[in-house]
Amino acid sequence: EALEKEGYEIRYAGVDEFGTIDFKGLEKLVDNDTALVSVMTANNEIGTIEPIMKISKIAHEHGALFHTDAVQAICHIPIDVNDMGIDLLSASGHKFGGPKGIGFLYIRKGIRIQPFMRGGAQEEGKRAGTTNVPGIVGMAKAAELSMEGLDDKMRKVSELRDHAIERIEKEIPYCRLNGHRTERLPGNVNFSYRFVEGESLLMMMNHNGICVSTGSACASGSLDPSHVLLAIGLPHEIAHGSIRM
Catalytic (active-site) positions = 218
Phi, psi of 188 (to 5 degrees): -120, 130
- Neighbouring CB atoms inside 10 A of 79's CB total 19
Q: What is the 3-state secondary structure (H, E, C) of the chain?
A: CHHHHCCCCCCCCCECCCCCECHHHHHHHCCCCCCEEEEECECCCCCEECCHHHHHHHHHHCCCEEEEECCCCECCECCCCCCCCCCEEEEEHHHHCCCCCCEEEEECCCCCCCCCECCCCHHHHCECCCCCHHHHHHHHHHHHHHHCCHHHHHHHHHHHHHHHHHHHHHHCCCEEECCCCCCECCCCCEEEECCCCHHHHHHHHHHCCCCCECCCHHHCCCCCCCHHHHHCCCCHHHHCCEEEC
Q: Is the dihedral of CA 22, 165, 72, 101 positive or negative?
A: positive
Closest-CA residue to 203 (of 160, 237, 243): 243
